[in-house]
Amino acid sequence: MKLLRFGPAGHEKPGVLDANGVIRDLSGVIDDISGEVLHPGSLARLRDVRPETLPTAPAGARIGPCVGRIGKIICIGLNYSDHAKESNMAIPEEPIIFMKPTSSLCGPFDQVEIPRNSQKTDWEVELGVVIGKTAKYVDEAQAMNHVAGYCVVNDVSERAFQLERGGQWDKGKGHDTFAPIGPWLVTADEIKDPQDLDMWLEVDGHRYQNGNTRTMIFGVATLVAYLSQFMTLQPGDVICTGTPPGVGLGQKPPKYLVAGQTMKLGIAGLGEQQQITVDAVVPR
């Protein structure tokens, strides 16, 4: 299944993509794509729903983040061997973990803000792993039983804030709109091998990132098991698994985003995103 959420920000409804690519409204069946809805048993019951019997979403409806009420966004740094090389950083011996705040979430086609005083806002296409079943002290052999599905994530980053301002990486990763996810949550049964997915990203039509999840240092099963040793993974949590080479920081010379540019990105089988960059504004 390809599950999604549509409607105005903060008021999204759950939906499912039918065989013809039409968005169908699931709000008469479930209240959101979140929490226990993502449990394997709940997903099995959803598969029994015939999409063609559901009402269609309004034409042109906004697509929101594909998971609602996310508890935490856990990110893995330098998890592609070829990206670590382009960053002139050593390959990690254990996964590098940082977090994005849930306030950074936005839809896959929403605008992305360039923070105040930013000089080095960067892009990162990533495979997102959505937890469907509580995981605490799970081993690698059982880890995939806790995965509900996968999605595209753009781990937008401000490199100066991340690397030059002291402390941990979070301050360069947490600005509003720095975590577009979606368009769909593709359930795990539809992805034969999450360690063999092509992924790409373009800025203003120029292809910067061309990679594949096979070059991950720590694969999905390893990450789920590893993280569960340090924190309980709960249904709806999202793991951002790292990015392949081609980020702005790795260009020679480096290239960074400014307002008015268009990012387009995607992962095989998981759909595409597109965002226009804008200067950050203070809400009134």
For position 168, what pLDDT does the model report? 84
For position 166, what pLDDT does the model report? 86
Q: How far apart are the first and last CA of the chain?
A: 39
For position 236, what pLDDT does the model report? 98
Q: At residue 13, does pLDDT exceed 90?
A: yes
The one-letter code for the residue type at 28 is: G
Q: At residue 59, does pLDDT exceed 90?
A: yes
Q: At residue 284, does pLDDT exceed 80?
A: no
Q: What are phi and psi of 22, to 5 degrees?
A: -90, 135
Fold of 68-279: Fumarylacetoacetate hydrolase; domain 2 (3.90.850)
Quick one: pLDDT band at residue 283, thresholds 50, 70, 90? confident
For position 145, what pLDDT does the model report? 98
Give the start-end residues of each E strand in 71-220.
Answer: 73-77, 96-100, 105-106, 112-114, 121-122, 125-131, 147-154, 157-158, 179-180, 185-187, 198-203, 206-212
* Listed range (30-39, 78-87, 98-107, 179-188) with the worst mean pLDDT: 78-87
DSSP state of 62: P
For position 137, what pLDDT does the model report? 98
For position 189, what pLDDT does the model report? 97
For residue 9, how many other CB atoms are within 10 A of its CB? Answer: 12
Q: Domain ranges in the chain?
A: 68-279
For position 89, what pLDDT does the model report? 76
Distance of CA 231 to the CA centre of its chain: 20
State the average pLDDT for the chain.
96
For position 81, what pLDDT does the model report? 85
Alpha-carbon distance of 256 to 251, in angstroms, equals 9
Q: At residue 90, does pLDDT exceed 90?
A: no
For position 83, what pLDDT does the model report? 79
* Mean pLDDT confidence for 260-284: 95
Quick one: pLDDT band at residue 93, thresholds 50, 70, 90? very high
